[in-house]
Amino acid sequence: MKTPVDERLLREARTFELKFRCEDCAHFAVDGERCANGYPVGPHRARPLEGLPSLEFCKEFELA
Protein backbone atom coordinates (compact mmCIF):
# COMPACT_ATOMS: atom_id res chain seq x y z
CA MET A 1 0.00 0.00 0.00
CA LYS A 2 1.45 3.39 -0.97
CA THR A 3 0.97 6.28 1.44
CA PRO A 4 2.08 9.86 0.78
CA VAL A 5 4.86 11.06 3.06
CA ASP A 6 3.69 14.34 4.53
CA GLU A 7 4.34 16.29 7.72
CA ARG A 8 1.62 14.40 9.58
CA LEU A 9 3.12 11.00 8.74
CA LEU A 10 6.60 12.19 9.69
CA ARG A 11 5.34 13.54 13.02
CA GLU A 12 3.30 10.43 13.84
CA ALA A 13 6.14 8.09 12.82
CA ARG A 14 8.42 9.85 15.32
CA THR A 15 5.82 10.18 18.08
CA PHE A 16 4.57 6.60 17.96
CA GLU A 17 7.87 5.00 16.82
CA LEU A 18 6.10 3.53 13.79
CA LYS A 19 7.61 0.22 12.66
CA PHE A 20 7.18 -0.64 8.98
CA ARG A 21 10.56 -1.56 7.54
CA CYS A 22 11.71 -5.02 6.52
CA GLU A 23 14.21 -4.99 9.35
CA ASP A 24 11.30 -4.74 11.83
CA CYS A 25 9.34 -7.61 10.25
CA ALA A 26 9.18 -11.21 11.47
CA HIS A 27 9.46 -12.42 7.85
CA PHE A 28 12.79 -10.69 7.17
CA ALA A 29 15.73 -13.08 6.95
CA VAL A 30 18.60 -10.95 8.25
CA ASP A 31 21.34 -13.36 7.15
CA GLY A 32 20.21 -13.28 3.52
CA GLU A 33 18.74 -9.78 3.63
CA ARG A 34 15.57 -11.05 1.98
CA CYS A 35 11.91 -11.64 2.68
CA ALA A 36 11.13 -15.20 3.75
CA ASN A 37 7.86 -14.91 1.78
CA GLY A 38 9.65 -13.93 -1.42
CA TYR A 39 8.50 -10.30 -1.60
CA PRO A 40 10.91 -7.65 -2.91
CA VAL A 41 12.59 -5.80 -0.06
CA GLY A 42 13.91 -2.78 -1.96
CA PRO A 43 10.90 -0.51 -1.40
CA HIS A 44 10.68 -1.43 2.28
CA ARG A 45 14.26 -1.34 3.54
CA ALA A 46 15.50 1.14 6.14
CA ARG A 47 16.01 4.66 4.83
CA PRO A 48 14.92 8.09 6.02
CA LEU A 49 11.31 9.05 5.39
CA GLU A 50 12.25 12.67 4.83
CA GLY A 51 12.42 13.37 1.13
CA LEU A 52 10.43 10.32 0.01
CA PRO A 53 7.31 11.17 -2.02
CA SER A 54 5.52 8.05 -0.75
CA LEU A 55 6.04 5.06 1.47
CA GLU A 56 5.14 1.49 0.54
CA PHE A 57 3.70 -0.58 3.36
CA CYS A 58 3.99 -4.33 2.89
CA LYS A 59 0.78 -6.32 3.16
CA GLU A 60 2.67 -9.20 4.80
CA PHE A 61 4.33 -7.07 7.51
CA GLU A 62 4.25 -8.72 10.91
CA LEU A 63 6.00 -7.10 13.85
CA ALA A 64 8.96 -9.18 14.98
Q: Is residue 61 part of a domain?
A: no
Amino acid identity of residue 60, one-letter, is: E
**pLDDT given at position 4:** 95
**pLDDT given at position 1:** 79
Q: Is residue 64 part of a domain?
A: no
- Number of folded domains that form the chain: 1
Predicted model pTM: 0.79
Q: Is residue 47 part of a domain?
A: yes
Determine phi and psi for 15, rounding to 5 degrees.
-60, -45
Domain coverage including residue 20: 2-56
Name residue 55's beta-bridge partners: 3
Confidence band (pLDDT; 50, 70, 90) for 43?
Answer: confident
Q: Is residue 7 part of a domain?
A: yes
**pLDDT given at position 57:** 87
**pLDDT given at position 30:** 87
